[in-house]
Amino acid sequence: SYWDQLLAKDNSGLLIKRMGEAVDGEYQAFKAKGGSYVREKFFGKYPELLELVSQMTDRDIWKLNRGGHDPHKVYAAYHSAMENKGTPTVILAKTIKGYGMGKSGESMNTTHQQKKLDEEDLLYYRDRFDVPLTDEQVKNIQYYRPDENSPEIKYLKECRIKLGGYLPERSSFAKAIKTPPKDIFDKMKESTGEKEMSTTMVLVRMLTSLMRDKNVSPRLVPIIPDEARTFGMEGFFQKIGIYAHEGQKYEPVDSEQLSSYREDIKGQVLEEGINEAGAMSSWIAAGTAYTNHDISMIPIYIFYSMFGFQRTGDFVWAAGDNQTRGFLVGATAGRTTLAGEGLQHGDGHSHVLSSVVPNCISYDPTFGYELATIFREGLKRMYENQENIFYYITTMNENYPHPEMPKGKDIEEGILKGMYKFKSYNKNKKTKIQLLGSGAILREVIAAAEILERDYKIDSNVWSVTSFSELRRDAIEIERFNLLNPDEKPKKSYLEQCLSSEDGPILASSDYMRLNSDQIRPYLEKSFYSLGTDGYGRSDTRKNLRKFFEVDKEHIVAYSLSVLAKEQLVPSKYAKEAIKKYNIDPEKPIPTKL
């Protein structure tokens, strides 16, 4: 290698010192401006270095190449990496932008779109890399292919055989994991009576039950970046342990408690510290183990929902691209539901962000039976059917009673497809409105429906929407089929099957930006209106936040009456009276601008 002789003569270490002094911009110029420039600017800083290269021509100096372009150095580094066992190896290769492109791009600040070389550059490239082509062949842009019996072709073929073939192929020999029986989830489908709990706690109880399933338990990988105790997951510490590659090395401060920290070489919980990027990396590693290590793992990464897609969105996209399987759980979700922690914690758009990832299945459940149904289906699709998808599920920290799962053969299907009729309010047998709600705001919608029925004699259907994005995807698929098959009888999307035969306009409310529920607007023929939490918001109580964002039961009632008045289904005085009754100020600043 060209540098070796110079380095051998450098007894003072001055050459290595000079290498360390030069910054990237200088190194770029050294390769762009030729040997005389390098002699003056690089070696010329110290007289001793000028003397060191005094017997070298400018061309000799220009040939002093970077290590990443020195085949001897690259081979030596690769050989060392292959020989190393038991630890990772990092090779830092110093290279040149546009290597081999000559004056068209080598070490130049050209755009990344620089694709074409002129004739002179092609000839330079031919000479630079000793490509055995004539001038005429180069001018005609002919490719060079070595003979089939040449060492190069033989070597390439041997490498391809070692790698398993000529085309990249994703293979997996991981065995399917049998879906846990439904009875594990049945407890979550029962009414809690007067007992209140959050959907985050329902999830923790469900995971605790899954730890008793011999097929699933060893594969569970709970990943927590910071808030294990906030999420009520401290019971996992003693049950399955916190993974630590050297085991427990200290006595935890809470050692006298039943749920004290327990670190173990065989632990399953990954406690990542406040490191969402690291947690996502662990989640991806576990979620791709089925193809990288032929064993299916079930990573469940639980985080403050604002700090998932917003903070590590590029990792999420990479996870989808890598066909990661697993669960992302946005706990403490909803812009008005995580109250009092400042607007930087208030998640009102994670479901908007998740909707753009093609193989991310997103749900915003309200009740325990919805969560249990969704989670079991996720296990079935990803680990028994081995679909290359992943789930994003939001859970809340708001405590409230959970009803029993409604009877009916279509309930489970509706939960999974994105919506189902939770309850009909039809005492009055006349004016009707379709009220859609999701997540924490569904309970506000239910309360609003009761007020409309009791105080205004207006009937309604309350629909629990577990996934606006799944409804949209189904509608897109049906729309495409109908447009590309004009001679066939049009199909109906699941959304249309639910709503097209129902009376009255539609009002959708959620704890997310209107854009979340607006996803389904183009696929409905009925009048559609949405309420949401657009804007930054503020730190306050849930009650005040929902009033501020106009998604509390009183605003839903007032908006419902205004919608019905606009459709000429009730007198406008109904809406005016409600606006006055609930002290709603039409002149206040709009929340979307605050």
Q: Could you tell me the residue ranges of all domains in the chain?
A: 2-163, 183-233+269-394, 417-593
Residues of the chain with pLDDT under 70: 102-105, 107-116, 227, 229
d(CA 508, CA 343): 23
**Two structure tokens written together for 401:** 């009673």
How many CB atoms lie under 10 A from the CB of residue 568? 8
| Residues near 412 by beta carbon (within 8 Å), at least 6 away in sequence | 373
Q: Are 359 and 314 in contact (CB under 8 A)?
A: no
Name the CA dihedral angle for 34, 37, 43, 45, rounded to a multiple of 10 degrees. Answer: -160
| Residues near 77 by beta carbon (within 8 Å), at least 6 away in sequence | 91, 93
CATH number belonging to domain 417-593: 3.40.50.920
Q: Which tens digits make up the pLDDT trace of 135-186?
A: 999 999 899 999 999 999 999 999 999 988 888 888 889 999 999 998 899 9
CA nearest 15: which of 23, 7, 27, 26? Answer: 7
| Residues near 311 by beta carbon (within 8 Å), at least 6 away in sequence | 276, 277
Residue 363 phi, psi (nearest 5):
-140, 145
Classify residue 249 by burial, with Cβ atoms within 10 Å: 0-12, 13-18, 19+: exposed
Helix 199-210 crosses helix 368-379 at what angle (to 10 degrees)? 40
Mean pLDDT of the chain: 92
CATH number belonging to domain 183-233+269-394: 3.40.50.970
d(CA 514, CA 534): 7
The length of the chain, given as a count of residues: 594
Residue type, 210: L
**Residue 269, helix vs strand vs coil:** strand
Helix 410-417 crosses helix 368-379 at what angle (to 10 degrees)? 70
Strands 459-465 and 419-425: antiparallel
Residue carrying the six token digits 């049906």: 478
- CATH 3.40.50.970 applies to domain 2-163: yes
Would you state the pLDDT for residue 489?
96
Residue carrying the six token digits 């492109």: 101
Q: Are 420 and 314 in contact (CB under 8 A)?
A: no
Would you state the pLDDT for residue 128?
84
Q: What is the pTM of this model?
A: 0.86
Strands 220-224 and 327-331: unpaired
d(CA 329, CA 391): 8
Q: Same topology for domains 2-163 and 417-593, yes or no?
A: yes
